[in-house]
């Protein structure tokens, strides 16, 4: 799925966030879209698998072919890498906080520019106070 195709029409407590929502994987197409969405998500997810098993982790890689989902799963105080077959996923729950939500590049550049302008104003005031300007 192209990176530019990241529009989600899911209900959420944070406008624009998919935190605390779920996606059913009822067929290969919905599973592929749900797993790509989970890969794009910047938080932990809970995967429901065939047979009732659940896995909680952070998806760091999704390969439609060869049908693999790579996760970091908490194991004690560490995270361990685990690979599961994508075709075994029946639903995905966005259970972890989206740690990057609201922290877009545009927000960062605006904040950095404002800080730069404040610093320039401060330096100009100091220069005037010293009689340099």
- Does the pLDDT of residue 11 top 50, yes or no? no
Mean pLDDT of 66-70: 94
**Does pLDDT of 64 surpass 90?**
no
Give the residue among 113, 120, 103 at the shortest CA–CA distance from 42.
103
CA-CA-CA-CA torsion sign (113, 108, 3, 13): negative
Question: Sign of dihedral through CA atoms 122, 126, 132, 133?
Answer: positive
pLDDT attached to residue 7: 45
pLDDT tens for each residue of 13-39: 555 678 888 999 999 999 999 999 999
CA 46, 50, 53, 55 torsion-angle sign: negative
- Strongest mean pLDDT among 33-37, 95-99, 105-109: 33-37
pTM exceeding 0.75:
no
Average pLDDT score over residue span 84-109: 82
Local structure of residue 64 (DSSP, 8 states): T
Count Cβ neighbours within 10 Å for each residue of 25-59 and write b for 16 or more, e otherwise: beeeeebeebbbbbbebebbbbbbbeeeeebebbb
pLDDT at position 45 = 95
């Amino acid at each position: 799925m192209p990176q530019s195709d990241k529009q989600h029409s899911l209900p959420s407590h944070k406008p624009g966030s998919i935190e605390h929502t779920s996606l059913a994987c009822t067929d290969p197409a919905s599973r592929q879209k749900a797993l790509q969405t989970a890969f794009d998500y910047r938080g932990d997810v809970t995967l429901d698998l065939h047979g009732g098993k659940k896995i909680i982790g952070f998806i760091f890689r999704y390969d439609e072919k060869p049908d693999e989902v790579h996760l970091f799963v908490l194991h004690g105080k560490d995270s361990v890498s685990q690979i599961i077959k994508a075709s075994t996923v029946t639903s995905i729950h966005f259970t972890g906080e989206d740690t990057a939500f609201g922290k877009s590049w545009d927000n960062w550049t605006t904040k950095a520019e404002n800080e730069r302008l404040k610093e320039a104003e401060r330096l100009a005031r100091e220069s005037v106070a010293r009689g340099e300007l």
